[in-house]
Each structure stands twice: as C-alpha cells, then as structure tokens.
C-alpha cells in the first residue's frame, strides 16, 4: 500500500502495539483499557484460558484487533506465541484500517501461515523488530524467563515498565503458607540481567514502579488515580460511538470524567481482620481475575460514610 506521498506503508506503520502481562489482573485490565482507549493495539497475556473471555469482553469493543493468549510454561514457546500474537494483531489492525474483510478473516485463522500474510519470514524477535513489527510498550509483571522475550520484542524508541515478578511467588507443595526457599533462591540467582549498553544501542527504556510505595504516598496516589481516570474516560479509541448519544451525555460527562470510567473488576473480597492470609493465598494462586479486595468494616472512615 502507498500513502498520499507515494511512500510504501505496512501494518507496522499504522499501529502502536502495547503488550500487557497479567492482562486480566487489577493493574493489567486497566492498563489494557487505557491503551485501547488511547488508540493502541493491545496484546494481552494471561495465565489461564478461562481469563481470555474477561479480556475480550472488556477490550475488544475498544480495540477489535486486540489479541490475548495463555502464557506457556515453556519460555521458548511463550516467545513464539508472543511473536505470533503481535503479528496477528498488526495484521488485523491493518485489515480493519483498509477495510479488507478477506485479509481480516485470513489473519483470524488459528492455523494460517502468518509469515505469508505479513510478507516476510520471521523466526525470532530480532526479525520482527528489524522491520518495526515488534511492540512499542510493555507492561511486564512475570519476570524470570518471561522477561527477556518481552524485552527483545520492543521496537526502537519503545518502553518497558515492570510492576511485579509473579515468577518469584514461591509456594511449598504441602503447606500453602510455607515458602519454598530453594526454588525461590534458584529463580533469584537466574533472574534476567540487563546490559545498559543494549538499551542505548536499541534506543529503548526500562523502568518500574511499586504499587505499595505508591499507596503510602497519598499525594502521588491521588495524582496517579486522576491520570488514570482521565485516560479511562477518554473516547479516543477504535470503537464506534453513537454521535447522538455522545452529544446527549457530553455535558454531564465533562463535569464528571469518572462517570465515563468502566468500574474495575473485583474478583474476590475478603475481610481484613479474619481473611487476610486467605486473600494473599488467593492472590498468589495466579487464578484470580480482576482485583483481590480487603475490606475493613471497622475503619472509621467507612463508618462515617
């Protein structure tokens, strides 16, 4: 395809791809929605197949080209699945932009040869990044052997933000409250190492944030929450909107951006006084969807409300 200036364009030229680990978790689901509402093409990774419909219900109306796949226990297979998901997302986005229904149907097939559709063979992350077919932003939470496949797939100028390392959730086999120290030590010693020189060579950025630290700084937390609300209340997305309906509610929504925000998914609720340990065990199980919430009915602030 050619643009107005005669320059050849590809699917890689018209999409900003955002990769989100733990895409149906409390952070991941909001991150996916923010990316979709800002016009990004979202590729989500989840730990179990039953989480995929949750992602699709929330994100596909905003980003029809979004992809979601289950993280393989084999890091090499994970890397391959990730590359295929990114290529599929770019192809679907491109076909939707060009209104090429036949291409869209082909790219959606599970057994299709994606290399034949994108026009070149790819066998590694390098092959995709070299052509600009990698990802542009990564929200990373797995760590361990899953970190580098995500980092390797970042396009020049892209960024990775890590917000957790669920790989290091060591659990004993016989006692759920017992930490398996030896496996945890091995994972720590074999954790991924980043050469700062490769960051400058590839022109990519790596950072991280700690949600616990954020919650202990009320001012920063409020600022971050307000920014999230502004992004989540944005109508800038791939979804089609009813103009008349938008006009009807625009005035009210402008006064209260929160009115346009889809509430976060709450998967489990526990009482702080009696179920805190059970809440932590549930969170560490990797089988949760959305947020795990601790309530404290004795909180004087809640009693005032």
Domains of the chain from N-terminus onward: 11-209 (3.40.50.720), 265-305 (no CATH)
List pLDDT tens digits, range 272-292: 888 888 888 887 777 788 888
**pLDDT value at residue 205:** 94
Alpha carbons 82 and 80: distance in angstroms, whole number = 5
Residue 75 has pLDDT above 50, yes or no: yes
pLDDT for position 237: 53
Cα-flanking dihedrals φ and ψ of residue 235, to 5°?
-100, 10
Report for 20-29, 237-246, 256-265: range of highest mean pLDDT: 20-29
How many Å apart are CA 90 and CA 98, to the nearest integer? 12
- CB neighbour class for 105 (10 Å; exposed up to 12, middle 13-18, buried from 19): exposed
CA terminus-to-terminus distance, the chain:
59
Q: What value does the mean pLDDT of the chain take? A: 80
Give 66's DSSP letter: -
Determine the Cα–Cα distance for residues 71 and 142; give it in Å rounded to an integer: 10
Among 98-112, 131-145, 249-263, where is mean pLDDT lowest?
249-263
Distance CA 18, CA 43 (A): 6
Q: Give every CB contact of residue 32 below 8 A, 6+ residues apart in sequence.
A: 18, 20, 23, 42, 44, 55, 58, 59, 66
Q: What is the mean pLDDT of residues 100-113?
A: 69
| Average pLDDT rounded to a whole number, residues 77-105 | 85
Provide the pLDDT for residue 2.
Answer: 42
pLDDT of residue 60: 95
Token pair 């580098």 is at which residue?
A: 148
Spatial CB neighbours of 234, under 8 Å, sequence gap ≥ 6:
37, 38
**What's the pLDDT tens digit per position in 159-180?**
999 987 766 665 544 455 566 7
Measured distance CA(260)–CA(131) in Å, rounded: 38
Q: What is the pLDDT of residues 115-139, one digit of tens each?
A: 878 888 899 999 999 999 999 999 9
Query: Is residue 54 a contact partner of residue 30, using CB atoms and an 8 Å limit?
Result: no
pTM above 0.85, yes or no: no
Given this model, what pLDDT does residue 270 score? 92
Give the pLDDT of residue 240: 47
Judged against a pLDDT cut of 60, whether residue 250 lies above it is answered with: no
pLDDT value of residue 298: 75
CB 39 within 8 A of CB 18: no
Question: What per-residue confidence (pLDDT) applies to 172?
Answer: 44
Average pLDDT over residues 44-52: 94
Query: How much of the chain exceeds pLDDT 90, in percent?
Result: 37
Cα 54 to Cα 59: distance, rounded to the nearest angstrom? 9
Tens digit of each residue's pLDDT (9 = 90 or more) over 182-210: 877 887 788 888 888 889 999 999 998 87
């Amino acid at each position: 395809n050619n643009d107005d200036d005669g320059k050849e364009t590809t699917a890689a030229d018209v999409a900003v791809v955002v990769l989100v680990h733990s895409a149906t978790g409390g952070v991941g689901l909001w991150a996916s929605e923010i990316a979709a509402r800002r016009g990004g093409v979202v590729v989500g990774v989840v730990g179990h197949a039953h989480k995929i419909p949750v992602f699709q219900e929330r994100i596909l109306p905003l980003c029809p080209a979004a992809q979601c796949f289950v993280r393989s226990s084999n890091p090499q297979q994970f890397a391959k699945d990730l590359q295929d998901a990114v290529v599929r997302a770019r192809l679907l986005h491109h076909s939707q932009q060009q209104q090429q229904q036949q291409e869209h149907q082909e790219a959606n097939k599970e057994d299709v040869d994606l290399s034949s559709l994108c026009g070149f063979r790819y066998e590694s992350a390098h092959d995709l990044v070299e052509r600009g077919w990698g990802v542009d932003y990564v929200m990373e939470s797995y760590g361990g052997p899953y970190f580098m496949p995500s980092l390797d797939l970042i396009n020049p100028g892209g960024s990775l933000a890590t917000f957790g390392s669920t790989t290091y959730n060591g659990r004993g086999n016989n006692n759920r409250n017992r930490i398996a120290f030896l496996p945890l030590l091995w994972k720590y010693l074999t954790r991924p190492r980043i050469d700062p020189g490769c960051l400058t060579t590839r022109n990519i950025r790596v950072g991280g944030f700690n949600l616990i630290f954020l919650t202990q700084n009320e001012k920063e937390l409020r600022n971050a929450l307000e920014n999230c609300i502004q992004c989540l209340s944005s109508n800038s997305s791939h979804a089609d909107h009813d103009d008349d309906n938008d006009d009807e509610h625009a005035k009210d929504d402008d006064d209260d951006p929160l009115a346009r925000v889809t509430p976060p998914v709450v998967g489990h609720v526990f009482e702080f006084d009696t179920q805190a340990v059970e809440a932590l065990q549930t969170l560490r199980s990797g089988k949760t969807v959305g947020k795990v919430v601790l309530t404290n009915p004795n909180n004087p602030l809640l009693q005032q409300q």
